[in-house]
Structure 1
Amino acid sequence: MKQDTHHEHRAGSADAARPLLQISDLHVSIPQRKGTVTPLRGVDLTLEAGRTIGIVGESGSGKTMTSLAIMGLLPGNGRVTSGTIEFDGTDLAAVDEDRARRRRGSDIGMIFQDPMTSLNPTMTIGEQVSEGARVHERLSKRAAHARAVEILDRVGMPRPQSIARDYPHQLSGGMRQRAMIAMALVNHPKLLIADEPTTALDVTTQRQILDLIEDIQEEFGSAAILVTHDLGVVAGRADDVAVMYAGRVVEQAPARTLFEEPAHQYTRALLAALPERAVQGSGRLYAIPGMPPNLGDQIEGCPFAPRCHGVQDDCLTGTVQPVVIGDGHVAACLHPGGEEIGGTADGTPAEVAPTGDGPGERASADGADQDVLEVSGATKEYPALGGSIVRRKVGTISAVSDVSFTVRPGETFGLVGESGCGKSTLGRLVAMLETPTSGSLRLEGSDITGLKGREARTAHRRIQMMFQDSTAAMDPRMRIDEILTEPLDIQKVGSAGSRADLVEDLVSDVGLADDALERYPHEFSGGQLQRVGLARSLALEPRLVVCDEPVSALDVSVQAQVLNLMKDVQAEHALAYLFISHDLSVVSYMSDRIGVMYLGHMVEQGPAEEISARPRHPYTRVLIDAVPTVDQQEDRERLFVEGELPSAADPPSGCRFRTRCPFAQEICATAPPVHEFGTEDDSHTVACHFPLPADGSLPVRAGAAR
């Protein structure tokens, strides 16, 4: 398997004579009105030609700032105050700006995190990809366009000639990311910097993009810096890993060494916070206590000491210098290694949050065993419009098709699938933000399908929603107390005094300080805003909360805090969750039962442990095998598929997955599969003509008609 052999394949490709990139004692400062922020405080980093280094750490650790310093893209009045950035014999921090710009433009390419905000909406894809070749290689417009089409084809863009004439808004997320990669590669750079290149992508598209970056590196002989908070990504893709904290590299080692024998206590804490570690031990996520230091303050001693479970007196003073641990392995830690980190942030043993007796056995507050939510045959179709002048209906987009499932009192039902599979649309149907085309939804036995007016407002009190992007979901002009009070005002709950008391209790329940009520959304971090979002969803004391990708944008340590909080709140308030995500590790940790969606259909559902360990539908197996994990199972055969989802405006006949399924046969094209029970107790169902064996083996691939 390609991912498993990555380290061995590239181990001998480095130029031993001189590193391609050598960063030494790099300091960056950004003057502000209230003082100077120092986001980089003595960064040391080495990258040899042809190799890949992953830079990981929490938000604010300095990973992105390091890549921006290399590219000369520091924000505002930020500047390098000391240190060197030696790239292929040139100190980019010391030479004049014109020379540095020429080196960066021709020899270094950068893939940014959000292609939609990085691409120019007024320029075609071809114009943007060719721009670098015209500026730095002085190619004619025709030659640069030909180069752009060639690169677009090389990065796997379908119909590159046509795509070159399209604008960014006309492309899917995966295609926009491919366009960004093409822009970075147009001058065949020696160094490729990828800053969170797959954060917003689902796991199958993520794997395709990472495979593409790796293939391009091998073809061009480029070195790469992979900046990410996803430890699983660097575990499978990087030769070496640098862990950053508070503007410094606190540990650097070969990837396999770092993940098998982490030395710095911060690295070990990050690994302990991974959902896959909790799932394996059926325990609670380890949450790193406290917050990273303020980078405007002077830091004495080890910067991680205030949050370290193994801190000792000598960690609190002086400057902690890197120490050689082994071959290529250095760590700035006075007491490396030690006992395995686990348990909660306060040091108590790891236990499953007290949310009930087990999957499917939780009880509601009044002891009733009636389902909180029953979805029967839910279908949502949208008109597909065409015409350049007069818009008219030319077809139908099948977003959700005949989906049925239940959510029980106090349980979490996880919903997973690729982008475009219909899971968020289904969440909006459940939250009554959309009306189904057909089918029904029942909340605690009452039909809520198509309710309007006062009846709809009453039902909304029992169903609330937690959004993916809390920043976009909150009015930036409203204080937090106003944001939390708003649903109470709309529903006319209690008096003004009782509402104020309730809001104070909510803030306390989600672990925010009392002064949070007087602040505005922009004054909070991403994790804190998700806590506010959870508090708002609890204001009306709902029975069900629809959580749409609530932690997808958070780094691993903050994610652990939010997920643990959600479980605690669930137990305290007897909540049921519909938890929507493309991350199966997170869904497996949070959920009692899981439903898997593909192109509007529910293809498999059952107990979370059963789905994760013994998937029966090929698509579920694809999702599981595409998840990058730190603990690689190299002896396991993995199932991958290529390409993006078919159009929901023209879904395939029969089984909608058949066009990408390696086991498809003739019947898959003519007869839609029905849900069949995959377990003796009827708890695990799969809609597939040829379900996978329960022992995890893969049958011989048919490769029949698609």
Structure 2
Amino acid sequence: MSRPPSNEHGPIPVLRVEGLTVAYRRGDEWLAAVRDLSLALPAGQVCGLVGESGSGKTTLALAVMRYLPREGQVRAGSIEFAGRNLLALGRGQMRHLWGKEMALVPQDPLSSLNPSLRLGRQVADVLRYRGGLDARQARRRVLELFDSVHLDDPERVAGSYPHQVSGGMLQRVLIAMALSTEPQLLILDEPTTGLDVTTEAAILELLRELIRGRRTAVLYITHNLGVVAQISDRVVVLYAGEVFEDAPTAELFRQPLHPYTQGLLDSVPRLGQNKEQVQLRPIQGRIPELDALPRGCIFRPRCPLAIDVCLEQPPLYDAGPRREARCHRWDEIARQEVSARQPAAAPNEPPADAEGAERQQLVLQGRALAVHFPGRRSLADLLARRPRAGVKAVDGVDLSIRRGATLGLVGESGSGKTTLARAIGGLVERSGGSLEFREIPLPPGLRGRSDDVLCCLQIVFQNPEEALNPYLSVGETLRRPIMRLLDLSRPEADERVAALLQAVGLPAEMARRLPGQLSGGQKQRVAIARAFAPNPHLLIADEPVTSLDVSVQASILNLLVELQARQGNATLFISHDLAVVGYLADEVAVMYRGQFMETGPVEAVFRPPYHPYTEVLLSSVPIIGAEKQKMARAGAEERPEPPGELTGCPFHTRCPRFLGKICVEEVPPWRVDEESGKAAFCHIPLEELRAAQAHQAPLRPGGDAPPGGGEEGRR
């Protein structure tokens, strides 16, 4: 909480921060990134820290850990850890605390692990240096820790290098390392951002389990409101370095008292919402620069409830038991006299020609698409003349996308989603199958494709940093494909650039800026503008909103809907966020191990009967406003796989409705529901799935099979 409570009747908090101001040097001046911040965190409590990028979340974490870079400095306030003044400790004294009594788990595990050392060795080094164990004790403890974080085959993981295991496994290794010395304080900085829903659910469930057993105080930093709703006891909302709201989690999500918190919640698509029913409401404007903070309330320029009194800086008001809000109108909001939460926006306009014959035109059709990568053969394989064991990244999928429609592609990391998209785009050559674009056969690679095809098929990648040339201005970035693919003159291209910037909601003067001068959301808007520059018939969007703030994400989703309505393009939208796909897509394909498990209209696929894999994915989605749910524990549910190529159903090693021998040995049939248009790749008839799923919450991996399940029920 922002004004630390008195500890007269209770233990001293593990972490107590009072009046903290942290600033960064820019030239001859200091710019405060965190201002007058206070909080107290007792043992066993999880405090969620949320806010847009630039709010000061990571700066606070680095200040608490005394990890601030050279240009950063604590300018005022105090930080106490277990009763000790951290700001009075020297570097040597802090080294005794780091990794032993306080630990930090960063967002990107690869940047925190040594790529040249095996994972077991890296954790063992921490145990020997911090815990005083000898080599044999450390080795044994590493295996115990890896088992405690539910890593399958701890021996194998301990002997692996970071690049040889998945992102979810690396995050578990970092958590094991952080908890290896039983720290009193654990700081988690976006530990699940970028992970798929089942891996995220497994990490969250693991953290809850470990925190319960150790009474560790946890500061959990994230921009994912669904995650913070599920794991936190309290939530602190930061904006441009100031605490805007502080409340118990359930109370904050039930009735937020600050317009900024309300805006964040309204920006998030919920499962069951669709673009045809509601339009997302992002917060207008952007977070202010530290050297240009507005007068009075710093949220005033973006706030729909701003009035004259907001020209005065608001204090942090006591808004009830264990609640605080930095808003002059918090009491009016509490009495529901005013609200920043507007009525649901009107549904989006349907795509152009939605009722005409063009709406039925197939833009893309693929049959039996396959992408196989050859594996490596060891010397033993060569001597034994064993065939090369390849990887079937995409294994015989059929898909079609019509004009003005969006096909959502969901699945865990490694399911083959991006490989399929790159094969359609010609960036990876397919191994088999046929692909038609506007009824014209497409060659496997880019070289054989005409300029017309290159013009009409465009891709938006997940990371705009990698897609934009840092040395080209925004105007030149947009102008080049226009002049190259549309054969326009320079003046005509300049007019088109201005129109594109207006279409994606960027001012005309942005054309003169370099990518390094733009925010993440602005860069993604430029990438989308470039993709729409040649008027594409098909847009492939590969995780375009992953890692963006919720408000920026909402504006990008609205932009994609608006541009599609205006131009009538087809879209292949890839994401591991099921709520985002459910909002944006018309149809959805659920992918696992290179194959489609379920396809159909999005509203049909996301309601029972589900394919068991779809059921697992939906069960793992953290839900805002719901009671804390037991999250999936991915990995622990895996059944041992037989050596060689997997047979039968691809999902049988994890299926919560596993039937036995038939799932292992026989390829499932496609079960088609003619009424809804959905189809599931499963041995269980849809009627039986519907009956099993009607009377219970969706199963999670490793759950019990439904009564009457088993091999005898099928054979």
Q: Which residue of 2 aligns with 1:693?
A: 690
More displaced stretch, 696-705 vs 552-561: 696-705
CA pair 220-633 structure 1, distance change in 2 beyond 3 A:
closer
Task: Give the equivalent residue in structure 2 for 1:316.
Answer: 311
Cα distance, 1:221 vs structure 2:
1.9
- Which residue matches 1:491? 485
Q: Distance in 2 between matches of 1:647 and 1:80?
A: 53
1:193–1:199 CA distance, 2 compared to 1 (3 A): same
Q: Are the equivalent residues in 2 in contact too, given 1:469–1:550 (CA < 8 A)?
A: yes
Tell me the equivalent position of 2:5: none
Report the CA distance between 1:335 and its aligned residue: 0.7
Task: Give 1:151 shift.
Answer: 1.7
Indicate the residue corresponding to 2:56 in structure 1.
62
Unaligned runs of 5+ in 2: 1-7, 697-705
Shift of 1:235: 0.7
Cα distance per residue 1:142-166 (max 9 Å; x no partner): 4333333332222222232332232
Q: CA deviation at 1:390?
A: 11
Could you say what the CA RMSD is over the residues aligned between the two structures, in angstroms?
2.8
Greater Cα shift, 432-441 or 558-567 = 432-441
TM-aligned CA deviation for residue 136 of structure 1: 2.8
Alignment deviations for residues 454-498 of structure 1 (CA, whole Å, 9 cap, x no partner): 634331211100000010122222222222233234436222332
Matched, 1:577 2:571: yes
Say whether residues 1:231 and 2:232 are aligned partners.
no
Rounded to whole Å, the distance in 2 between the matches of 1:487 and 1:649 is 49
Could you report, residue by residue, the CA deviation over 1:656-700 in whole angstroms, capped at 9, with x for unpaired residues? Answer: 11110121112112221122212425x111111114207644543
Aligned to 1:386: 377
Query: Aligned to 1:291, which of 286, 295, 298?
Result: 286
CA deviation digits over 1:400-441, x for unaligned, max 9?
A: 111112111101111100001111111112212222211111
Q: Any idea what SS the aligned residue of 1:189 has?
A: coil
Match of 2:347 in 1: 352
Runs (4 or more) in structure 1 with deviation over 6 Å come to 388-393, 636-640, 644-649
Deviation, 1:177, is 0.7
Q: Counterpart in 2 of 1:362?
A: 354
Q: TM-score, normalised by structure 1?
A: 0.91
Q: Which stretches in structure 1 are left out of the alignment for 5+ residues?
A: 1-13
| TM-fit CA distance, 1:331 | 0.9
Matched to 2:664, the amino acid is: A
Shift of 1:231: 0.5
Match of residue 455, structure 1, among 427, 449, 454: 449
2:669 counterpart (670, 674, 691): 674
Which residue identity does 2:27 align to in structure 1?
R
Distance in structure 2 (CA, Å) of the matches to 1:258 and 1:638: 21
Q: How does 1:558-577 map to 2 (within 5 A)?
A: 558-577=552-571
Match of 1:166 among 135, 160, 171: 160
Compute the displacement of 1:649 (Å): 11
Number of the residue aligned with 2:622: 628
1: CA distance between counterparts of 2:592 and 2:76?
52
Q: Which of 189, 193, 203 is 2:187 aligned to? A: 193
Q: Give 2:347's aligned amino acid.
A: V
SS in 1 for 2:390: strand
Comparing 16-25 and 449-458, the one that deviates more:
449-458
Query: Hey, what's the Cα distance between the residues in 2 that align with 1:462 and 1:227?
Result: 41
2:700 aligned partner: none
SS for the counterpart of 2:88 is coil
Which string of whole-angstrom CA distances, capped at 9 and with x for unpartnered residues, describes residues 319-359 of structure 1?
3111122221111111122445445xxxx9601211349xx
Residue in 1 that maps onto 2:699: none
Taking a change above 3 Å as real, the CA distance of residues 615 and 549 of structure 1, as seen in their structure-2 partners, is: farther
Q: Which residue of 2 is the match for residue 50 of structure 1?
A: 44
- Shifted more, 451-460 versus 431-440: the winner is 451-460
Residue 257 of structure 1: CA displacement? 0.7
Deviations 1:120-179 (A, max 9, x none): 212221232123333333433443333333322222222323322321111111111111
- Tell me how far apart the structure 1 counterparts of residues 644 and 344 of structure 2 sit (CA, whole Å): 52
- Structure 2 counterpart of 1:80, which letter? V
Change (3 A) 1:60 1:389: farther
The whole-number CA distance in structure 1 between the counterparts of 2:120 and 2:445 is 48
CA distance in 2 between counterparts of 1:388 and 1:507 reads 57
For residues 368-418 of structure 1, give each alpha carbon's deviation from its aligned partner in whole angstroms, at most 9, with x where no partner exists: 632111111111111011337999972111111111121111011111000
Q: Could you tell me which residue of structure 2 aligns to residue 515 of structure 1?
A: 509
Is residue 50–residue 222 contact of structure 1 (8 Å, CA) maintained in 2?
A: yes
Matches within 5 A, 1:212-251: 212-251=206-245
Distance 1:489 1:637 in 2: 54
Give the 5 Å matches for 1:21-100: 21-33=15-27, 35-100=29-94
Give the partner amino acid of 2:48.
Answer: G
1:286-685 counterparts in 2 under 5 A?
A: 286-317=281-312, 319-336=313-330, 337=333, 338=336, 339-342=338-341, 350-356=345-351, 362=354, 367=358, 369-387=360-378, 394-450=388-444, 453=447, 455-491=449-485, 493-632=487-626, 642-643=635-636, 652-665=646-659, 666-680=661-675, 683-685=677-679
Shift in alpha-carbon separation, 1:62–1:615, aligned structure 2, 3 A: farther
* Aligned partner letter, 1:450: P
Structure 1 CA distance for aligned equivalents of residues 446 and 587 of structure 2: 31
Q: 1:569 to 1:15 in 2, by over 3 A?
A: farther
The DSSP-based 3-state class of the residue aligned with 1:372 is strand
Rounded Cα–Cα distance in structure 2 between residues aligned with 1:209 and 1:16? 31
Residues of 1 paired with 2:315 and 2:156: CA distance?
54
SS at match of 1:215: helix
Conserved? CA contact 1:413–1:578, under 8 Å: yes
Shift of 1:40: 0.5
Q: Distance in 1 between matches of 2:163 and 2:498?
A: 42
SS in structure 2 at match of 1:483 = helix
Q: 1:165 to 1:297 in 2, by over 3 A?
A: same
Q: Distance in 1 between matches of 2:520 and 2:379?
A: 41
Query: Quick check: 1:152 aligned with 2:159?
Result: no
Kindly provide the CA deviation profile for residues 19-51 of structure 1, in whole angstroms up to 9, marking residues without a partner as x.
111111110011013743211111111111111
Q: Which whole-Å deviations, capped at 9, do the CAs of 1:261-291 have from their partners, x for residues lacking one?
A: 1111111111111111881792100110111
State the one-letter code of the partner of 1:288: I
Following the alignment from structure 2 to structure 1, what is the Cα–Cα distance between the partners of residues 576 and 86?
A: 40
Report if the CA contact (8 A) 1:155-1:178 is conserved: yes
| Count, aligned residues | 682
Cα distance in 2, alignment partners of residues 530 and 704 from structure 1: 50
Change (3 A) 1:251 1:703: farther
